[in-house]
């Protein structure tokens, strides 16, 4: 498969990254919304593992519950593991394992090379399933960390920092949901919203009334927006935190969530200190036991760095496209000038041939004029794509052979071959050799001239044949000046087999081998 041009490679990478991020955000929002209806801790953890597996395209995911009395983990829930391991298999929780380090440090651990890791040992459970890479994030709890949420992969696709953010979002929902399940008998929801679980989240979390009023904002959210005291925003409209041009979008998202629909959007919102920030926002309804919306939760994630990187990539792509466009215009101008120059040379040679008194000189001048016309046709066909890096060689030769057929009235020139894309640098030699061989076949052969182009493992094979009696035994001894065959042998590939005469057929056939790369 031919390599993509640089700007397409960049655009393709950006598209894949954005598509994966969008999928993860949708899964996180759906999970956060769906677990509001869950009243079982086991179901909560099982659904979390399914969400992780889907968001990371990973076969394996698990929740490890920490057991303080034995200082070990137990495989509490999971996807992809043997059913017999769930609830029974224990793993070490010390700092020498990835999950243990995440528990002890309270920070995510990403390892894309478990087999060669020197800082951690690979647990036997992971080695048994061929796990090559893993992400571990702590699941916070009250009064102590509940355990670790882990995603594992046995394929060769690396996890990324973005995947860590997704996994932390799922872990935060687990923490919040466990707290909700523990406090489900309480009727005062405000007590739940003020717990340290929400304050432990690195995102800005706001709990809103159905009309969009701010009832709660976690500590990290206040800090992210440069708000010194919750009293500054408590009871005010959430939309008022946003710039005027963004408020309609925020208000629309709140209205949809109030009707029971989760919403996601991105937009710019500066902090109270005036610092420019770009946010990825999830808005979801909070339901009561009767499945009615009683509040709205809004989560803002700072994606300023990612947004700036995307803008830089977009600017780079635009710059490259502009440069390519300028190069194409310059190449087009060069093409016109060279073509005009070749036409002038051809005209002068033909005129000189007509004025020459010596018939032999006139013949040579006319042959030179014809060759210049042929070179002009090659050049014209070569740069019809305005300097493209690669071109369909078969399509290119089809146009060229049609031009050559006009040189010999009553003779047919046909082309056979499937599409073969070659670098532009290979097309000029291919075109010149084809033009020379077809011209010779029209001049010295008879009947239809057939051109065939095909690709072998390491070369491109050009075959030109006509319905003549075949080449003489002493061929390629020159029939004229010998310039034509010298051009053929110069532009063909290296080696004894670069130019061969096929004497296994009763007609004239010559085969030229070109490098494919």
Question: Residues 498-517: pLDDT tens digits?
Answer: 888 888 888 889 999 887 76
* Sign, Cα dihedral of 345, 350, 356, 358: positive
Q: Which residues contact 416 (CB under 8 A, 6 or more apart)?
A: 450, 451, 452, 453
User: With contact defined as beta carbons under 8 Å apart, do 147 and 122 qualify?
Assistant: no
Q: From CA 19, how far away is CA 170, in angstroms rounded? A: 19
Q: What are the residues whose beta carbons fall under 8 Å from the beta carbon of 54, sequence distance 6 or more?
A: 27
Query: Are β-strands 459-466 and 508-515 bridged in parallel, bridged antiparallel, or unpaired?
Result: antiparallel
Residue located via tokens 């992969």: 153
> Residue 172 is inside which H or E element, if any?
helix 161-182
| Domain 186-302 in the same topology as domain 1-185 | yes
Q: Where are the beta strands (DSSP E) in 69-170?
A: 72-79, 90-92, 109-111, 133-139, 147-153
CA 219, CA 429: separation in Å to the nearest integer?
A: 70
Mean pLDDT, rounded, for 380-396: 67
Domain 389-517, classified CATH 3.40.50.2300, yes or no: no
Give yes or no for a contact between 72 and 92, defined as CB atoms under 8 angstroms apart.
yes
How far, CA to CA in Å, does 398 sit from each of 156, 287, 391, 422, 436?
A: 44, 68, 13, 15, 15
Q: If you average pLDDT over residues 87-107, what whole number do you get? A: 89
For 367-383, write each residue's pLDDT tens digit. Answer: 677 767 766 666 666 56
Write the CA distances from 171 to 130, 176, 196, integer angstroms. Answer: 25, 9, 14
Question: Is residue 284 exposed (0-12), middle (13-18) or buried (19+ Cβ within 10 Å)?
Answer: buried
Mean pLDDT score, 316-324:
71
| C-alpha–C-alpha distance, residues 449 and 411, integer Å | 8
Task: Render pLDDT for 189-236 as a digit per residue (tens, 0 to 9).
Answer: 444 444 555 776 778 999 999 999 999 998 889 999 999 998 899 889
- Domain formed by 186-302, architecture: 2-Layer Sandwich (3.30)
What is the per-residue pLDDT across 124-133, written as a single tens digit (0 to 9) for each?
Answer: 898 899 998 9
pLDDT tens profile 221-232: 999 999 999 889
Spatial distance between the Cα atoms of 316 and 127, rounded to a whole number of angstroms:
43
Distances (CA, A) of 507 to 31, 391, 454, 473, 498: 74, 32, 20, 13, 20
Q: What is the pLDDT of residue 386?
A: 52
- Mapped onto helix, strand or coil, the DSSP state of residue 256 is helix
Yes or no: domain 1-185 corresponds to CATH 3.40.1190.20: no
Q: What angle, 0 to 180 degrees and rounded to 10, lies between the N-to-C axes of helices 424-444 and 359-382?
A: 140
User: Among 35-44, 327-336, 429-438, where is mean pLDDT lowest?
Assistant: 327-336
pLDDT at 313: 76
Which 8-state DSSP code applies to residue 159? Answer: P
What's the pLDDT band for 257 if we cut at 50, 70, 90? very high
Task: Tell me which residue has tokens 């053929």.
Answer: 488
Residues 233 and 351: their CA atoms lie apart, in Å, by: 90
Q: Where exactly are the structural domains of the chain?
A: 1-185, 186-302, 321-387, 389-517
């Amino acid at each position: 498969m031919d390599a993509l041009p640089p700007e397409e490679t960049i655009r393709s990478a950006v598209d894949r990254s954005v598509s994966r991020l969008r999928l993860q955000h949708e899964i996180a929002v759906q999970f956060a919304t769906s677990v509001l209806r869950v009243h079982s801790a086991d179901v909560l953890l099982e659904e979390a593992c399914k969400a992780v597996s889907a968001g990371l395209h990973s076969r394996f995911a698990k929740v490890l519950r920490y057991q303080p009395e034995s200082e070990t983990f137990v495989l509490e829930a999971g996807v992809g593991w043997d059913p017999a391991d769930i609830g029974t298999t224990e793993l070490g929780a010390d700092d020498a394992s990835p999950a243990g380090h995440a528990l002890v440090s309270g920070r995510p651990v990403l390892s894309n090379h478990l087999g060669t890791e020197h800082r951690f040992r690979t647990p036997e459970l992971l080695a048994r399933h061929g796990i090559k890479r893993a992400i571990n994030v702590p699941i916070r709890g009250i009064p102590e960390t509940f355990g670790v949420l882990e995603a594992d992969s046995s394929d060769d696709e690396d996890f990324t920092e973005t995947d860590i953010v997704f996994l932390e979002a799922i872990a935060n929902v687990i923490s919040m949901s466990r707290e909700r399940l523990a406090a489900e008998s309480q009727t005062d929801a405000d007590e739940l919203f003020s717990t340290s679980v929400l304050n432990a989240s690195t995102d800005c979390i706001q709990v809103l009334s159905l009309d969009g009023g701010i009832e709660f904002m976690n500590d990290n959210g206040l800090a992210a927006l440069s708000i010194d005291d919750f009293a500054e925003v408590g009871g005010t409209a959430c939309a008022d935190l946003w710039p005027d041009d963004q408020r309609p979008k925020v208000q629309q998202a709140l209205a949809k969530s109030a009707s029971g629909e989760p919403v996601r959007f991105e937009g710019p919102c500066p902090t109270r200190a005036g610092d420019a920030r770009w946010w990825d926002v999830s808005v979801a309804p909070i339901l009561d036991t009767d499945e009615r919306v009683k509040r709205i939760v809004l989560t803002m994630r700072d994606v300023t760095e990612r947004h700036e990187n995307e803008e830089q990539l977009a600017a780079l792509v635009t710059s490259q496209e502009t440069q390519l466009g300028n190069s194409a215009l310059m190449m087009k101008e060069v093409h016109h000038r060279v073509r005009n120059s070749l036409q002038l040379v051809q005209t002068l040679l033909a005129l000189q041939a007509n004025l020459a008194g010596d018939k032999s000189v006139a013949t040579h001048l006319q042959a030179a004029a014809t060759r210049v016309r042929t070179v002009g046709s090659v050049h014209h066909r070569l740069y019809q794509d305005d300097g493209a890096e690669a071109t369909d060689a078969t399509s290119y030769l089809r146009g060229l052979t049609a031009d050559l057929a006009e040189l010999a009235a009553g003779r047919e020139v046909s082309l056979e071959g499937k599409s073969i894309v070659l670098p532009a640098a290979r097309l000029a030699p291919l075109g010149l050799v084809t033009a020379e061989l077809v011209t010779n076949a029209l001049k010295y052969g008879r009947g239809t001239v057939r051109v065939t182009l095909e690709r072998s493992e390491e070369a491109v094979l050009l075959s030109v044949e006509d319905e003549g009696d075949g080449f003489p035994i002493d061929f390629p001894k020159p029939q004229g000046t010998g310039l034509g065959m010298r051009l053929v042998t110069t532009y063909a590939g290296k080696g004894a087999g670069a130019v061969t005469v096929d004497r296994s057929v009763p007609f004239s056939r010559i085969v030229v081998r070109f490098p494919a790369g």
